[in-house]
Amino acid sequence: MWSLKKSVWVFHVNTGACNNCDIEIVDCLTPKFDIERLGIKLVGSPRHADALLVTGGVTAQAAPRLREVYRQTPKPCIVFAIGACACDKGIFTTGYHMVGPVDKIIKEVDPNAIIAYVPGCPPKPEAIISGVLKALAVL
Amino acid sequence: MNQQELNNKLSQIKAQLISIEQTADNRIYLSCEARNAYAVNKFLFEDVPLRFVIATGIDSDDCFEVIYHYAYDEIGCIINLKVFIRDRENPQLESIAPFLPAAEWIEREIHDLLGIDFKNHPNMRRLILADDWPQGVYPMRKEMDAKIARGWTCETSSRPAPESPARRTVPLGKPILPVGPFHPLQEEMEFFQLTTDGEIVTDIDMRISYNHRGIEKISESLQFDQVPYLVSRICGICSASHPTAYVNAVEEIAGVTPPDRARYVRTIICELERIHSHLLWVGLAGHFIGYDTVFMWAWKYREPVLDLLEEITGNRNNYGNVKVGGCREDIPDEIVPKMLKDLDEVEKKTEMLTKAVLDDPVLHARLKGVGTLSKEDAIRYAVTGPTARGSGIAIDVRRDDPYAAYADLDWNVIVQEQGDVFAKAVVRLLETLESVKMTKEAVQKLPKGPIAIEVKEIPPGEGCGHGEAPRGETFHYVRSDGGNRPIRHKVRAPSFVNVPSFRASCIGQHIADVTITLAAVDPCYSCTERLAVVDAHGNIVRDYEMLLQASRDKTAQMQKELGWPGLKLEDLQIG
Ligand code: SF4
């Protein structure tokens, strides 16, 4: 686990988000927040990632893709549920096309998965950064 | 054509209609039987001619209704054609997609959600529901209401999924290039499958559904006052435009006008949204062609705008600031000086970016003539927003059918004729400057008074509201039965019509130009981040990184050919 604590590489998965959580994640990269200074880096493939940043409440069409992405991520890895949707489907709870939330889908693949939650709609970049760092601290 | 002439024109098809009704100055409702629908639609689109907006499918108790919404932008009039399908057992309509490609997606959507068959549709495959959604279950039909309320989801259903592939099959031996699937807009999260011949794209197919959350259905379970919070979460970055269009529709039903101050506050929020959205786009476009500095800078300049929005509404995005009858949060007078100062700063930076783009010979060479959408195609695909204005179609809801305070302000609609990526970039950059100007004027003119009036009841009726979101027209149709919830709420986000136009703009393009052509419509960024070229045996021969690299290499190559050292922001005057 200690290997995860420094310089976490993250892969971003959108499973039916409204786009805001995603924009705030990308925002973390840009000059005002600049998470790369903390060693956190967005990567283009789950196979390179130490952590998944999952947004959205998981639609029926996205669920199989999320499972697949989780399978492809090297273990051990951490799953971050970013935003109210990812944590518990948020405002879309009653939608007929929603099969999430994220922890339910991930636990179908791996009941022992490590999942951290960052609530907010959308969580501010500061909240995302602090959530990631707090989770790393307790590992 | 003025209203009178339009009415005369419409009365030419009187014989085929059941009724013509004018509910307001610029809202006309026509109705006809299913057998006449094709002819009337053809007349409306080709002979009047009107711009196709969207169609709404409704399960009314004794029949199905499909409402085709059209707009006549010259006078900002919305014309709705209601078609009644009386045969509930076997609902059928003649497809209008053969002469109106813009209707292709919505007919597929109505087929998915309501089970109405469209005869002679060129491409009737599943669009909006998941691949494993059970066959014959139509979520927008009334009989599903009780089941969905009890927690039915497609995963708990035992009915089998259909066998027909939702993706188009490509003959073996042709290289295909899948793009996607993840992409975060309302119904517009996409998977693109590009068929290529060498380096040239020969066909493009799209699959959406990944982001379908069933918002229209959820909306029917919320009260009129709760819906704005839901619709601002359709697309995070249009989170002011959607609720504004929705309240426009509801206010039309209720026959109320919000107080002056509320109109101005709405305008200011909508324009701030446009500024940060366009800056976001400029950054991403820079990233796709290898100008990462532009990406970082544009996103940095966007931050003060988000801070202003947070100061006014309490959130950086998803403002939830409009409600039926006015606004929720006021703009405190104390922050006006700070707003003006910050806006000056944003204006300076945007001018700098605009100048950098317009003066850079590499960008001219790289983006001109790339991904061109001709004016004819723009009309056939009924595109809106900067995508339309970049192709020489001067439409803008803010001017054509003014809402909020747009009619009181002094601003210009930016139009470019060429239709290529460069034209769209110019439209967005100049538009950002117009928005800054407009916001400053609105802040200075901000009238005194209350920001909301109380609206107690929404009477039975129907209303159409639209608004100009950063990406184009967002359209909301709301029907009320006098209760406290909408009985039907249809949403059309601009990308729903802009994205299908890729068929016209991408075919014949170089693979290296695809990322930027797709991005030029500003569908959102995620789709282009998950992208791979697969050969006919399913082997990945190129992934997103390599395609991005191809795009960037092309820019670098041109820089070399032009003897241009590259864009150096340090050299530019930065305030
Ligand atoms: S949590 Fe809120 S901001 Fe994030 S995806 Fe869901 S609705 Fe959008």
Which H or E run contains B4?
Answer: helix B3-11
Probe site for chain A from B126, B182, B305 (most A CB atoms < 10 A): B182
> Per residue in B503-512, is it b (16+ CB within 10 Å) or e — as a string?
bbbbeebbbb
The per-residue pLDDT of chain A, averaged, comes to 88
Of residues B190 and B519, which shows the higher confidence score?
Answer: B519
Q: What is the value of pTM for the model shown?
A: 0.89
Q: Is the CB of A18 under 6 A from ligand 1?
A: yes
**Residue B496, pLDDT above cutoff 70:** yes
- Cβ distance of A20 and B185 shorter than 8 Å: no
Residue nearest to atom 6 of ligand 1 (CA): A85
Q: Are strands B540-543 and B51-59 parallel, antiparallel or unpaired?
A: unpaired
Sign of CA dihedral B29, B30, B32, B38: negative
Domains parsed from chain A with CATH numbers: 2-134 (3.40.50.12280)
Domains parsed from chain B with CATH numbers: 3-130+132-165 (3.30.460.80), 215-529 (1.10.645.10), 535-571 (no CATH)
B167 band by pLDDT with thresholds 50, 70 and 90: low
State the average pLDDT over residues B249-270: 93
State the average pLDDT over residues B308-324: 89
Query: Which tens digits make up the pLDDT trace of B342-362?
Result: 999 999 999 998 988 888 888
Q: For residue B54, what are the β-bridge partners?
A: B69
User: Which DSSP letter does residue B452 get?
Assistant: B
Residue A70 in contact with residue A109, Cβ under 8 Å? yes
**Two tokens at B565?**
């050292």
Of residues B95 and B171, which shows the higher confidence score?
Answer: B95
Which H or E run contains B533?
Answer: strand B532-534
Give the model's pLDDT for residue B175. 58
**Residue B148, pLDDT above cutoff 80:** no
Query: Which tens digits make up the pLDDT trace of B385-444?
Result: 999 999 999 999 999 999 989 999 999 999 999 999 999 999 999 999 999 999 999 999
Give the model's pLDDT for residue B32. 94
Pocket test for ligand 1, best of A15, A19, A21, A26 (most atoms within 8 A of CB): A21
Q: Looking at this predicted complex, what is its ipTM?
A: 0.93
Which residue is associated with the tokens 């446009």?
B274
Of residues B514 and B149, which shows the higher confidence score?
Answer: B514
Local structure of B145: helix, strand or coil: helix
Query: Which chain A residues have a beta carbon less than 8 Å from that of B515?
Result: none
State the average pLDDT over residues B197-226: 82
- Picking from A16, A44, A55, the nearest residue to B210 by CB comes out as A16
- Cβ distance of A60 and B133 shorter than 8 Å: yes
Give the model's pLDDT for residue B414. 93
Query: For B140-154, B316-330, B416-430, which range has the lowest pLDDT when averaged over its residues?
Result: B140-154
Neighbours of B162 (CB within 10 A): 16
* B205-209 LR contacts (CB < 8 Å, sep 24+): B205/B167, B205/B168, B206/B499, B206/B500, B206/B502, B207/B127, B207/B166, B207/B167, B207/B180, B207/B181, B208/B127, B208/B128, B209/A59, B209/A61, B209/B126, B209/B127, B209/B128, B209/B129, B209/B130, B209/B131, B209/B166
B31 alpha carbon – ligand 1 mean position (Å): 39
Query: Which tens digits make up the pLDDT trace of B171-186?
Result: 555 655 555 444 322 2
d(CA B284, CA B545): 15
d(CA A53, CA B465): 36
Give the model's pLDDT for residue B228. 92
Query: Which tens digits make up the pLDDT trace of A81-135?
Result: 999 999 999 888 888 888 889 999 999 999 999 999 999 989 999 999 999 989 9
A121 alpha carbon – ligand 1 mean position (Å): 5
Give the model's pLDDT for residue B569. 47
Which residue is associated with the tokens 């476009």?
B285
Query: Chain-centre distance of CA B384, in angstroms?
Result: 7
Query: Which chain B residues have a beta carbon less than 8 Å from that of A24?
Result: 316-317
Angle, vertex CA B412, rays to CA B406 and CA B285, nearest 5: 105
Q: Is the CB of A84 under 6 A from ligand 1?
A: yes
Neighbours of B13 (CB within 10 A): 20
Query: Which chain A residues have a beta carbon less than 8 Å from that of B153?
Result: 60, 96-99
- Closest Cα in chain B, distance from residue A14 (Å): 6
Angle, vertex CA B323, rays to CA B322 and CA B328, nearest 5: 65
State the average pLDDT over residues B259-279: 93
**Residue B49, pLDDT above cutoff 70:** yes
Local structure of B25: helix, strand or coil: coil
**Two tokens at B561?**
């050919």
- Picking from B139, B233, B295, the nearest residue to A96 by CB comes out as B139
Q: Which residue of B has its CA nearest to A97?
A: B213
Distance of CA B549 to CAs A15, A138, B449, B552, Å? Answer: 26, 38, 55, 5
d(CA B196, CA B203): 7
